[in-house]
Structure 1
Amino acid sequence: MSRTEIEIDAPDPRRWLMFAILLVGAFLPPLDFFIVNVALPSIQQDLGTGSSAEQLVISSYATLYAVTLITGGRLGDLYGRGRMFFLGLLGFAAASLMCGLAASPGMLILGRALQGVTAAVMAPQALASVQAIFPASQRPLALSLYGAVFGLASVIGQALGGFLIAVDVMGMGWRAIFLVNLPVALLVIAFGLPVLKETRARRASKLDLVGTALSMLTLTALVVPLIEGRAAGWPLWAWLSLAAAPVLAVLFWRYETRLHLAGGTPLLDPAALKAPGLGRALLVALCFYAVGVFFLIFSVYVQGALQMSALDAGLIFLPFGAGFLLGPLSVPALRRILGDYVNPAGMGLEVIGFLWLGWLVSSTPAAIAPPFSSLAVILFLIGLGQGLALPTLMRMVTGRVAPAYAGMIAGITSATLQISTSLSVALIGGVFYTLQGEQATTVSITHAFTVSVLCIAVCLAAGVALSLSLVRQPVQITETSAARST
């Protein structure tokens, strides 16, 4: 079957407006992950949360978001991406309202958990729809815009959280960071319902419930100890959970394979996952989001070692955000010059930026802020590299499977990035907190930060090497998966 036979039949004239609506689903989840960081002290003062409850405010969201992403993507394939987007958005708004009205730590944690689940239903639909509503010639630009929105949400979250708390809108304090989602959701629903055209797999079937349960158990066994293990002192349950994860993964894969051979519709279709180069592309994604821990350790460095306020700590990320905005918008032009080398070039810029940052911090006396001009250039360079690499990485992964599996691969890609973030926080964050020591000092924080950014650079360098190997392997859609998509 030729490639043209599996493309969308006729591009919808409103596809860019449809995509703009769906991008809200890509923007809100990372925004709400990062916006909470600067609000934790205010939440602790108002609700009397302890350190364990504060950890759960973050980890309950991150865990349930990660383990539900694959299911959320597949639900869009089977039951309609627009329908799942609006259901997820409604649920996310309701969960945000619960968080904003929370009168106890337990209610806040429950609201955050529901935010994570509903965000995972909403978020994959934008990435999946790139394959479903755009012709091949327009997908690079759509992915560039997706990358810009996805990345800027993490930066804006830091700055917006500090701003809302500093301004204290209508006396709401920290509650404003959750309640701000409500007018956004209502506007998107009001304008989006008449516009958004439904897309789904042509041969939609029922959701693979057993596969869904096994996938969520596998990801839970992996993600929960990565998120909670370090803070809990790596207890026995964390190691047992990590040991169980590969066993559950094997059981999950065997079940999916048997279901596929029996003519069923597995959650993860083995035929689609055998696409040439897909495994290595996902490994690039795993290396790529090692940068996820940077937002945490840089905040600790500028607030703990340089004594910056929460608002200043958020605003200092703005050069990174400017680079992240420019990067994706530059991808279409750079592809005409560099071709498929844009992805390794972008990650290479990040490697240079982190090496430069490590040198700058280590060569500056402790407790003295590095020159802001140099710091701004470095953060811009890292953001630019991230912005160039993210949309091209998405194309590298999602372009290898047929459009019928767009939701599935979008969920897998998003889950891989989330797992990468969890791994980086557990491993590189572990290095940071070990070197910082229990009695953190300016010198120990600075040393820990320097070593940690070098670890991030090493992970990104591994991603560059893998990406270069994929440049020599053209994107193809397997005959089996193509046949099953029609």
Structure 2
Amino acid sequence: MMLPVLLAAMFMVQFDLFVVNVAAPSLEHDIHAGQAALELIVAGYGFTYASGLVTGGRLGDIVGSRVMFLWGTLSFTAASLLCGLAQSPGQLVAARLVQGLTGAAMVPQVLALIMGVFPPQERSKAMGWFGVALGTGGVAGQVLGGALLQGDVLGLGWRVIFLVNVPIGVVAVALGWRLLPQPPSQGRPKLDPVGAIGVSGSLALALIPLVIGRTEHWPVWAWIMLGASVPAMAASLRWESVLASRGGQPLLDLTLFRNKVFARGLIVCVGVFAAFYSFMFSLTLVLQGGLGLSPLHAGYTFAPLAVAFAGASLFGPRKVAVYGARLVSAGIVIAGVGMAITLVVLQASGDSTSWARLIGPMVLIGLGNGLAVPVLAGVVLAGARTAAAGAAAGVLTTSQQFSSAAGVAGIGTVFFTALGSHHDVAAFAHSLEWVLGIGLVLIVIALVASAMLPSPPRPGKAPKPAAN
């Protein structure tokens, strides 16, 4: 019973990352949200979530994973309620930023509790199910979100996509209070406020201009922020290194990045998550804005992808001990083939593009990502074999969420730039071609990195020591 409680929290966070995609037209109509506000509503949640994950993990180490999970889940539920009650674009943007921060307080505790409470023989399966919740939550945001909007539950309109979290969150807190144990204490580290501010601020400096720079016609401040993000991150990492050399407790364990398996795993995460989630975001815009589908019809169009993803997600965790990194590579190849076919279909169809022609390659994309995403974290952490498993899991999850947010923001900017002022079917198809082209480059990079991840040893052979 404990694992479903943890996975429900993970599912809610991912669901809310993508459910707003299908609600964009309703937000434009009901509260007059402009394009900049829409992008902040979608990606603002993602970058506060991504930038707060490492700090959220450290706070869990300090006050305890169980306590932090309960408070994080309760706060996320309250933030969801604020989103559902928002009366203006500004209120909804503010509530979404808070929702992302509270998600960052909650999610690292899910990993910490899995790593700290489950015995080693059950941990890899639990990590696999963590990946299932991670992936299916995002896909369900497209499918269930459309159904909720079309059903207009209780006449709530778009508000239902946020208010649905309230009963789920309340039940998760109540069950968590009764069922969740506190993992064995391994000492209480100190908070590194300079590192927390530096790392989170550096990520924000990069993502904010990516989200709203285009709609503001790339003002000087956007370029200044982008340029400042690199030295700000460099200074933050330098501080972390100095703090560690003095015997302090830095927010980031920089020795992780010298572990070759872990470093390669980060590259795979960046490529897979940025490519997959930017595609999901852009395809939603094409289905509703270009092809004129209703939210429900758009959700149904995503259903085959969701079924393929779910089926592959259930298969992957059971086979990870046998195939390991080969499962990740196979999934990346299948997803890449699906994206390439989609690109060919769009180029051949042009203004004759229809949702029916996209179903087949969408199934391949769902199948491939369903194989790769759920087992990726477990494969990397097992292959790295680092003593700092909790810290490694936190950094890996941060890279996944940052890549998702950066993919939606950065590649989404390319989509809107290519679209320009032309909103016919051919223009939307052309814009999606740009997204797919960038995604395929990321997929190739991820595939090369995944091929260098360690595979399970053959029977009778001892595993090689992890490269550091």
TM-score with structure 2 length normalisation?
Answer: 0.91
The answer to whether residue 144 in structure 2 is matched with residue 146 in structure 1 is no
2:37 to 47, 50, 53: 53
The answer to whether residue 427 in structure 2 is matched with residue 444 in structure 1 is yes
Match of 2:326 in 1: 341
Match of 2:167 in 1: 183
Alpha-carbon contact 2:40-2:211 (below 8 Å) kept: no
Aligned equivalents of 1:103, 1:423: Cα separation in 2: 28
Match of 2:460 in 1: none
Q: Report the alpha carbon displacement of residue 404 of structure 1 after superposing the two structures with TM.
A: 5.1
> Could you say if the C-alpha distance between residues 397 and 340 of structure 1 is closer, same or farther in structure 2, counting changes exceeding 3 Å?
closer
> Could you say if the C-alpha distance between residues 356 and 261 of structure 1 is closer, same or farther in structure 2, counting changes exceeding 3 Å?
same
Alpha-carbon contact 1:272-1:478 (below 8 Å) kept: no
Letter in 1 for 2:378: R
Q: Could you list the structure 1 runs, at least 4 aligned residues long, displaced by more than 4 angstroms after superposition.
A: 401-405, 472-479
Match of 1:3 in 2: none
> Could you say if the C-alpha distance between residues 133 and 321 of structure 1 is closer, same or farther in structure 2, counting changes exceeding 3 Å?
same
Aligned equivalents of 2:263, 2:464: Cα separation in 1: 13
The answer to whether residue 337 in structure 2 is matched with residue 352 in structure 1 is yes
Match of 1:7 in 2: none
Please list every run of 5 or more consecutive structure 1 residues that lacks an aligned counterpart in the other structure. Answer: 1-16, 480-486
The answer to whether residue 276 in structure 2 is matched with residue 294 in structure 1 is no
Alpha-carbon contact 2:145-2:161 (below 8 Å) kept: yes
Alpha-carbon contact 1:401-1:477 (below 8 Å) kept: yes
2:393 to 410, 427, 442: 410
Q: Report the alpha carbon displacement of residue 402 of structure 1 after superposing the two structures with TM.
A: 4.5
| Counterpart mapping for 1:298-313 below 5 A | 298-313=283-298
Letter in 2 for 1:458: V
Q: Report the alpha carbon displacement of residue 345 of structure 1 after superposing the two structures with TM.
A: 0.9
Task: State the Cα deviation string for residues 34-75 of structure 1 (Å, max 9, x = none).
Answer: 112222333333333333333332233222112111111222
Alpha-carbon contact 1:124-1:411 (below 8 Å) kept: yes
The answer to whether residue 210 in structure 2 is matched with residue 215 in structure 1 is no
Q: Report the alpha carbon displacement of residue 257 of structure 1 after superposing the two structures with TM.
A: 1.6
Helix, strand or coil for the counterpart of 2:260?
A: coil
> Could you say if the C-alpha distance between residues 409 and 235 of structure 1 is closer, same or farther in structure 2, counting changes exceeding 3 Å?
farther
When the two chains are superposed, the root-mean-square deviation of aligned CA atoms in Å is: 2.4
Aligned equivalents of 1:377, 1:146: Cα separation in 2: 27
Alpha-carbon contact 1:69-1:415 (below 8 Å) kept: yes
Match of 2:90 in 1: 106
Alpha-carbon contact 1:292-1:421 (below 8 Å) kept: yes
Letter in 2 for 1:208: D
Task: State the Cα deviation string for residues 312-333 of structure 1 (Å, max 9, x = none).
Answer: 1122111111122122221244
Alpha-carbon contact 1:78-1:200 (below 8 Å) kept: no
> Could you say if the C-alpha distance between residues 418 and 236 of structure 1 is closer, same or farther in structure 2, counting changes exceeding 3 Å?
farther
Alpha-carbon contact 1:59-1:228 (below 8 Å) kept: no
Aligned equivalents of 2:299, 2:280: Cα separation in 1: 10
Q: Report the alpha carbon displacement of residue 337 of structure 1 after superposing the two structures with TM.
A: 5.1
Match of 1:239 in 2: 223
Helix, strand or coil for the counterpart of 1:312?
A: helix
Match of 1:453 in 2: 436
The answer to whether residue 182 in structure 2 is matched with residue 195 in structure 1 is no
2:6 to 22, 27, 36: 22
Q: Report the alpha carbon displacement of residue 273 of structure 1 after superposing the two structures with TM.
A: 3.9
Alpha-carbon contact 2:332-2:446 (below 8 Å) kept: yes
Residues 193-202 or 422-431, more deviating: 422-431
Helix, strand or coil for the counterpart of 2:352?
A: coil
Match of 1:466 in 2: 449
Aligned equivalents of 1:388, 1:413: Cα separation in 2: 18
Residues 202-211 or 298-307, more deviating: 298-307
Aligned equivalents of 1:403, 1:330: Cα separation in 2: 29
Aligned equivalents of 1:336, 1:54: Cα separation in 2: 42
> Could you say if the C-alpha distance between residues 402 and 77 of structure 1 is closer, same or farther in structure 2, counting changes exceeding 3 Å?
farther
Alpha-carbon contact 2:350-2:429 (below 8 Å) kept: no
| Counterpart mapping for 1:147-186 below 5 A | 147-186=131-170
| Counterpart mapping for 1:377-456 below 5 A | 377-399=360-382, 400=384, 402=386, 405-406=389-390, 408-456=391-439
Aligned residues with identical type, % of pairs = 35
Aligned equivalents of 1:251, 1:467: Cα separation in 2: 30
Task: State the Cα deviation string for residues 100-128 of structure 1 (Å, max 9, x = none).
Answer: 22233332222111111101111122233
Letter in 2 for 1:356: I
Alpha-carbon contact 2:135-2:374 (below 8 Å) kept: no
> Could you say if the C-alpha distance between residues 336 and 174 of structure 1 is closer, same or farther in structure 2, counting changes exceeding 3 Å?
closer
